[in-house]
Amino acid sequence: MKKALLILMSCLLAPNLYAQDTLRVDPPNWWNNLHDPHLQLCVHAKDIGNFNNVSISSKQIKIESIETVENKNFLFINLLLQQFQGKKAIVTLSNKEGAKRSFTYIFEHLENKINTISEKDIVYLVFPDRFSNGDTTNDIVAGLKEAYCNRDSASARHGGDLQGIINHLAYFNELGVTALWLNPTLINDQKNTSYHGYALTDHYVTDPRLGSNALYKELSKQLHNRGMKLVMDLVPNHIGSEHWMMHDMPEKSWVNQWPTFTRTNYRATTHFDPYASTYDKKQMVDGWFDNAMPDMNERNPRVAKYLMQSYLWWINYAKMDGFRIDTYSYNDVDFMNTCMAYIRKEYPNFWSAGEIWESAGVLNMAYFTEKNNLKNAPTSNLSGAIDFQVYFSILEALQSETNWNGGLAKLYNTLTHDFLYHQATKNLTFIENHDLDRFYSLVGKDFDKWKIGMGLLFTLRGIPSLYQAGELLAKNNVPRRNDGLVRKDFKGGWPKDPVNKFIAAGRTPEEEQAFQFTKKLIAIRKNKPALINGKLMQFVPNGSTYTFCRYTDTSCILVSVNSGKENATLNKQQLEERLKGYTKGWDLLAEKEISLEQLEIASNEIKIVELKK
């Protein structure tokens, strides 16, 4: 705690430490045909704030305002592009003594729009440092603070990179996923644990140990060429303590400050608690996520503009298809609304899902999503949530016996609250991710229970997502002692790995069975419209069984789970509303026709049945 405070104090007391005479301008370039004509240039160089007499070579660009701040190493220039269609403009800065500095600013013309994430997609979460090492020459980069690579350490960098992901795109095609979500790839020049990516130190630079901006753009291009998409992991709430601006902070209010180090209380409920204190609300939003992760002051208009422009820059530069937004509820909600409205001005249907990791129920997630049915909720432009509540429910269903509230009844009860959302179908669903114990381990390494969890993931509403190697029964010791233990390397991704899990020959028989099962589920999901955009009707759990249907006007798929120790027969009378008009069924997993007269389901089984007339 004291260390974090000293870092902050040093940033404020010694602002010239990282100042250089070389001009840095953010964003590094822009586009001349966006709907929003406003552009904020953040100019950084030693004493550049004294050069506040600004002119620009194009008459079609208006200088709206020039802002100097406490730190004279920064100058903020606000431009109005109006009808500007040029490719470059020369910006000239001069001080009172007549000395001049200038730079040429480049504009591009945005040609191709993106295809955003939708219910048709199956998302695969890749942990870049732990997936595949495609370029061993960038494992250690001179000049960066964490100058070692050690695969035997759970918290060190392992050498995975963007080239490694590109090298294995055929694997994702074989599996059938349609979009990759990468944990953050921006540079994390931190002294330790920089591998996870959530403490960025520059908003415009890809971590050189992962590759380059150009390689990131190439990954996006190759994905699009294969009919796939790319989701960026966005981190608005905080930066790394070694961020270049922390060493030369534009102004004291750039990050949220406290008399002593103050961590967030992690209570998203303070946003809507009618009895919450002002202090608790402030601590939630303004407290630091960790002592190495300063909290951004998103109420500062220059901070807000800097962040928003960087996100739009990445969408335009790399043709990003969606955002997973880290620690969404820790942000200032007014800023996040403005931010996503800014993005949607250019891309009206742009999909975003916020991480709202709380156990307080569906309300705690729906509150932050767009057009929800909550009376006092703030305006939002967040498409959906990372659906922790459905995750908790699926886990409960497979770890506990079903009773009035527990087991399968928890999943039933959770879904009864979907009315709080405008569109629960926009939520990103999952059964594991990079912050959680591996699902196969959590269900006691029971293959049948794992199959039930996977079956539910691909048949419930929402956009399903897998986590790296989950399709191969990845496991860890439960409970984990270190996050690194659930972020293990994908075997076969490193040149000297003794086994290669990317190919069938390198998998155990059980792993291959799991891979083929996942592949089949993905194919079922992609080929059955009722599972993509069909309505959902669920039925009250009966004993150890729980059943729901996904249906359209012309099709219906029945999904039933038996978590009990005995075989069970479904109550046909209970299901009559959806069975009416159908005479038989096709078991999509067993690939055989079944009778609807007596629907039987074995112990510890999931059935996915397409109803036939």
Question: Which CATH number covers residue 410?
Answer: 3.20.20.80
Tell me what the mean pLDDT of segment 96-123 comes to: 94
**Are both 353 and 487 inside the same structural domain?**
yes
SS3 69: coil
Tell me what the mean pLDDT of segment 40-64 comes to: 97
| Residue 478, token pair as written in the block | 């439960």
**Are both 517 and 539 inside the same structural domain?**
no
**Are both 328 and 350 inside the same structural domain?**
yes
Strand positions, DSSP E, 8-99 = 24-26, 30-31, 38-44, 53-56, 62-68, 74-80, 88-94
Model confidence at 20, pLDDT cuts 50, 70, 90, reads confident
Tell me what the mean pLDDT of segment 506-519 comes to: 98
610 catalytic, yes or no?
no
The verdict on residue 254 lying in a domain is no
The residues near 277 (Cβ < 8 Å, ≥ 6 apart) are none
pLDDT tens digit sequence for 444-461: 999 999 999 999 999 999
Domain boundary among 501, 530, 559: 530
C-alpha dihedral, 173 to 174 to 175 to 180, nearest 10°: -20
**Are both 233 and 351 inside the same structural domain?**
yes
Domain boundary among 494, 509, 530: 530
**What is the bridge-based pairing of β-strands 123-126 and 100-108?**
unpaired
Q: Is the pLDDT of residue 90 over 60?
A: yes
Name residue 332's beta-bridge partners.
Answer: none
| Residue 405, token pair as written in the block | 């509230």
DSSP tag of 399: H
Strand positions, DSSP E, 185-316 = 229-234
Q: In this structure, are residues 264 and 330 in contact, taking their beta carbons and an 8 Å threshold?
A: yes
- Report d(CA 70, CA 75) in Å as an integer: 10
DSSP tag of 347: S
Report the percentage of the chain scoring pLDDT > 70.
97
128 φ, ψ to 5°? -55, -45
Q: In this structure, are residues 500 and 506 in contact, taking their beta carbons and an 8 Å threshold?
A: yes
Which of 128-142, 328-342, 471-485 is predicted least confidently?
Answer: 471-485
Q: In this structure, are residues 5 and 260 in contact, taking their beta carbons and an 8 Å threshold?
A: yes
pLDDT tens digit sequence for 285-327: 999 999 999 999 999 999 999 999 999 999 999 999 999 999 9
Tell me what the mean pLDDT of segment 254-269 comes to: 97
**Are both 521 and 544 inside the same structural domain?**
no
- Report d(CA 441, CA 474) in Å as an integer: 8
Quick one: which of 47, 71, 42 has its CA closest to 251?
71
Predicted pLDDT of residue 113: 76
Q: Which of 207, 321, 326, 396 is catalytic?
A: 326
Q: Is the pLDDT of residue 13 over 70?
A: no
The verdict on residue 247 lying in a domain is no
Q: What angle do CA 498, 500, 505 make, to 5 degrees?
A: 110
**Are both 341 and 387 inside the same structural domain?**
yes
Which range marks the domain in which residue 213 is found?
123-237+316-530
Q: Is the pLDDT of residue 10 over 60?
A: no
For residue 384, CA distances in Å to 117, 323, 365 come to: 11, 11, 8
Q: Report the phi/psi class of residue 445: left, alpha or beta, with left for phi > 0 and alpha for psi in -120 to 50.
A: left
pLDDT tens digit sequence for 432-445: 999 999 999 999 99
The verdict on residue 33 lying in a domain is yes
**Are both 176 and 36 inside the same structural domain?**
no
Predicted pLDDT of residue 5: 45
346 catalytic, yes or no?
no
Other C-beta atoms lying within 10 Å of the C-beta of residue 175: 16
**What's at 125, amino acid-wise?**
L
**Are both 525 and 600 inside the same structural domain?**
no
- Report d(CA 188, CA 199) in Å as an integer: 6
SS3 544: coil
Q: Is the pLDDT of residue 384 over 50?
A: yes
- 26 burial level (CB within 10 Å; 0-12, 13-18, 19+): middle
Q: In this structure, are residues 93 and 101 in contact, taking their beta carbons and an 8 Å threshold?
A: yes
The verdict on residue 230 lying in a domain is yes
Q: Omega into 541 within 30° of 0, i.e. cis?
A: no
Domain count, the chain: 3
Q: Is the pLDDT of residue 214 over 90?
A: yes
**Are both 324 and 437 inside the same structural domain?**
yes
The verdict on residue 253 lying in a domain is no
Model confidence at 55, pLDDT cuts 50, 70, 90, reads very high
Q: Omega into 479 within 30° of 0, i.e. cis?
A: yes
Mean pLDDT of the chain: 95
For residue 452, CA distances in Å to 455, 468, 526, 560 come to: 5, 19, 18, 10
The verdict on residue 569 lying in a domain is yes
Separation of CA 172 from chain center = 18
Which of 93-107, 197-211, 245-259, 480-494 is predicted least confidently?
Answer: 480-494
457 φ, ψ to 5°? -55, -40
Q: What is the side-by-side strand order in the sheet with 30-31?
A: 30-31, 100-108, 88-94, 53-56
The verdict on residue 444 lying in a domain is yes
Q: Is the pLDDT of residue 274 over 60?
A: yes
**Are both 228 and 327 inside the same structural domain?**
yes
For residue 554, CA distances in Å to 458, 524, 557, 573, 595 come to: 20, 17, 11, 21, 20
603 φ, ψ to 5°? -60, 140
Q: Is the pLDDT of residue 170 over 90?
A: yes
Tell me what the mean pLDDT of segment 249-261 comes to: 97
Domain boundary among 498, 530, 562: 530
The verdict on residue 118 lying in a domain is no
Tell me what the mean pLDDT of segment 487-508 comes to: 98
**Are both 438 and 545 inside the same structural domain?**
no
Q: Report the phi/psi class of residue 374: left, alpha or beta, with left for phi > 0 and alpha for psi in -120 to 50.
A: beta
Q: Which of 355, 396, 605, 610 is catalytic?
A: 355
pLDDT tens digit sequence for 557-594: 999 999 999 999 999 999 999 999 999 999 999 999 99
Residue 42 belongs to domain with CATH number? 2.60.40.10
**Are both 469 and 580 inside the same structural domain?**
no
Residue 544 belongs to domain with CATH number? 2.60.40.1180
Report the percentage of the chain scoring pLDDT > 90.
92
Separation of CA 202 from chain center = 18
